[in-house]
Amino acid sequence: MSDPLVSLLRVDDALLAAHPDVYGAEPDARSVALANALSCGPAWERLRGHVRLVVRPSTGVLGLIGSPAPDDRPLLEAFGWQVESLLRRLRPVPYPEVESACIDLATRIRAILDDDALTRARVVGIPRGGMIVAAMLAYALGLPIAPSGSATGNEFTILVDD
């Protein structure tokens, strides 16, 4: 017995093709890369039912099949919104570009804050993409990355999001 179709996600390959360094140069590789990115994301881990993502390369469609839990429906709808809307607005940023931007930002921060102020600074990342960028910025500043929470005493927080 096969699993029922839950949802179809339409993929505009031209959006993926604009970023070959992220999704790959070949159309088949691009749809697989997008499917991998979706299925490795934190939203996918929150699904309670049994749902699989199926890719049929060169069709521009990703299929979600399985037996989702009732609470899974908003997440499954969010996948469709991400694929159809966010890909048009967001630009993937390669790791070297993020690293360079963090070094530049650290230089600017050092120009504003003296050494005493930097010793009181805490670098905190907003969960998901901000954690990676925060770690890179903290490293560039020579500071440890701090757990989330409020600053204590005379500390202040440098809050980082992606």
> What pTM did the predictor assign?
0.58
Please, are residues 98 and 133 in contact by the beta-carbon 8 Å criterion? yes
Each residue's pLDDT tens digit, 62-76:
888 888 888 888 888
- Looking at the structure, do residues 38 and 71 belong to the same domain, yes or no? yes
Q: Which residue has the higher pLDDT, 2 or 50?
A: 50
Each residue's pLDDT tens digit, 73-92:
888 888 777 777 777 777 77
Over its C-alpha atoms, the chain yields an Rg (Å, rounded) of: 20
Each residue's pLDDT tens digit, 102-159:
999 999 999 999 988 898 888 888 876 788 888 999 999 998 887 766 666 777 888 8
Tokens 């309670």 found at: 48
Name the residue range of residue 121's domain: 95-160
- Looking at the structure, do residues 102 and 149 belong to the same domain, yes or no? yes
